[in-house]
Structure 1
Amino acid sequence: MSTSQAACIASTELDGLDGEDEAVEEVQHEVVVYNALTHNALTHNALTHNALTHNALTHNALTHNGLMSNPFTKEALRERESRELLSFIVSCALPEDEKITVEVDRRSYTFVGELGLAPEWGRKNGSCGEKCQEWVSACLLSRVNYQGEHVPISLRGKHDALSSTAKERDKYDVPEATYYGNVFQKNQRRFACLAPGQRSIPRVCGPSLKDCVVDVVGKCEDVCDGPQKDGSYTNCRDRKPLLNLCGLRIFLPGTDSYKTSVSVFLE
């Protein structure tokens, strides 16, 4: 790895890449992170009105003042699962040179930036709009671990912060799945599609797709555009396509497409 930390990520760009077929840049960092976000922290408690309310969180800056000035957020941070979720939100949204320290019941907690997918959220008077929410959501979904275990994964996607090195792509060469959605909506949107050759996602879903924390909507090659040169997929949809007699993909009315997605590769 390029630094002594377990995850080595850097980005100073605010926006994702706009080109449909851009070359994979050889940059001096690797987008390898540990995943250990539990599904309970993501779904059961932490983004509900009993804990971190999605409106209170996204409408305010991801800063000490922004978090602690809101009574709902301040109260939520007393709960371990809320702190767990916030640590991953900060890790996904803010770059590695930023951190947030808060004090709850006379105990200090520090949340460290890592990926930098939405650095604008951490600025004074910042907030997290739809694009920010979808980038952070895709990152969060990609880092859920069914057992809550720390497993290194390579994250790739159409964002400057997700550029990868040739060394990383050689080491993490097993495509797993692509993740997308919006967990900050009242009714969370949590989707994944399977990489070529995969039939399950044991890291995220456990032994079965039946009760998975994400809705697995099919193969990435059917519901997304791509793969890109780094193996990632983009413009993924939330429904399986209907195939007509000519083999064309036809999606039902109301099918949503997400320009922001994160593809995961394993060793």
Structure 2
Amino acid sequence: MGIPGGTFTMEHSPKLAALVLTVAALSTGACAVPLDPEAPAEATDDAAPQAVQSHNALTSNALTSNALTAEALTSKALTSNALTAEALSDNPLTAEALRDPAARAVLRYIASCALPAGERLTIALDGGELTFHGELGLAPRWGQEGGSCDGACRTWVSGCVLARVNYLGEKVRISLRGDRAELRAGKVERAEYPTREATYYGDIFAERPRYHACLPPGTSAIPRVCGPSLETCAIEVAGSCDSLCDAPSVDGSFPNCRGKIRGRSGELAVEKTPHLGSVTVFLR
């Protein structure tokens, strides 16, 4: 399976290495997507069902410290209810969390990963309105009345959000691919984006959030995401995708990747359960 693609612009942040990551994303599909976050997406890919656009304002600091996913009670309130304006507004925990700019930034990416293109959340807050647009549609049922975000939803939305982190602070195009119809890459896209960068996966909603990545054969760094050093990266690089994931799919993406967790003795061990929502990024 694979994914569409897109274009995004990175914004530079003056914070230290682990905190200056700027998220940028695009779903590729043989066409460039508009940079205007309010502009509608156009389906012009040769194979993908839709082309999508993405926003470029999420920093690693927002990802790791925001009230929506950093606080266990609020995170549970978010995933156990529908991703709708009514549910978010009616729940005191999520409503209060959205007063945090970092939480709003994270929700923008969560919504763009979970909801299909053309759908959006418009939430009234403190006399104004917040609008969050859908793009990829990896968890569409979450956005329906009575919906919630189960394990499959959490893993795919997490992989999608983590794959869009960027350290460089510059305009970059990427191709996102994974074992989902929504992440299908056509021949044109695969030819335009031949360089496999890394695979991203985890659970940003867990009580102890997991931000994982693994490297493809022959790769020892992820400058787009981590900058010059993996040691200061906000995402934990668990090792080689060859040893942590199933064999790569036809489009080159690695499915079912595993992270590493620290045991009681302090040593790292490979997780037994794989992350279905493993998203591989390809570069030009």
Alignment-mate amino acid for residue 256 of structure 1? T
Native 8 Å contact 2:66 2:106 kept in 1: no
Q: Which one of 67, 71, 79 corresponds to residue 49 of structure 1? A: 71
Whole-angstrom distance in 1 between the partners of 2:42 and 2:151: 23
Of the three residues 252, 258, 264, the one matched with 2:275 is 258
Judged with a 3 Å threshold, the aligned counterparts in structure 2 of structure 1 residues 187 and 113 are, in CA distance, closer, same or farther, namely: same
The answer as to whether partners of 1:179 and 1:191 remain within 8 angstroms in 2 is yes
* Mapped pair 1:235 → 2:256: yes
Match of 1:5 in 2: 34
- Measured after TM superposition, the shift of residue 255 of structure 1 is 2.9
* Structure 1 partner of 2:209: 188
State the 1:192 CA deviation. 0.5
Alignment of structure 1 residues 40-79 onto 2, 5 Å: 40-46=61-67, 47-49=69-71, 53-79=74-100
Paired with 1:213 and 1:156, the residues of 2 have a C-alpha distance of 22
> More deviation in 254-263 or 197-206?
254-263
Q: Deviations over 1:60-107 (max 9, x none)?
A: 100100110111111111221111100000000000010001121112
> Identity, % of aligned pairs?
48
TM-score of the aligned structures, taking structure 2 as reference length: 0.77
Q: Using the alignment, how far apart are the partners of 1:255 and 1:135 within structure 2? A: 18
1:170 to partner: Cα distance:
1.3
Q: Deviations over 1:202-229 (max 9, x none)?
A: 1211221112111111111121112111
Q: Which residue of 1 aligns with 2:154?
A: 133
Q: Which residue of 186, 190, 193 corresponds with 1:169?
A: 190
Measure the CA separation in 2 of the matches of 1:221 and 1:3.
31
CA drift at 1:147:
4.8
Of 80, 84, 98 in structure 1, the residue corresponding to residue 119 of structure 2 is 98
In the alignment, residue 212 of structure 1 is paired with which amino acid? C
In structure 2, list runs of 5 or more residues that go unmatched: 1-29, 262-267
Structure 2 matches for 1:204-219, cutoff 5 A?
A: 204-219=225-240
Range with greater deviation from structure 2 (101-110 or 231-240): 231-240
Give the residue type in structure 2 aligned to 1:73.
T
Distance in 2 between residues matched to 1:37 and 1:9, nearest whole Å: 24
Match of 1:53, SS state, is: helix
**In structure 1, C-alpha distance between the alignment counterparts of 2:107 and 2:163, rounded to whole Å:** 15
Q: Which TM-score applies when normalising by structure 1?
A: 0.82
Q: Report the Cα offset of residue 57 of structure 1.
A: 0.5
**Matches of 1:62 and 1:214, distance apart in 2:** 26
Cα distance in 1 between the residues matched to 2:253 and 2:65: 29
Contact 2:33/2:42 (CA < 8 Å) preserved in 1?
Answer: no
- Give per-residue Cα distances to partners, 1:179-236, cap 9 Å, x unaligned: 1111111001111101222211112112211121111111111211121111100111
Give me the CA root mean square deviation.
2.6
SS of 2:280's equivalent in the other structure is strand
3-state SS in 2 of match to 1:86: helix
Matched, 1:224 2:245: yes
Q: What residue in structure 1 maps to residue 23 of structure 2?
A: none
Distance 1:144 1:27, change over 3 A: closer
CA contact (8 A) 2:254 2:278 kept: yes
Matches within 5 A, 1:14-53: 26-27=47-48, 29-30=50-51, 33=54, 36-46=57-67, 47-49=69-71, 53=74
Gaps of at least 5 residues in structure 1 are 11-24, 241-250
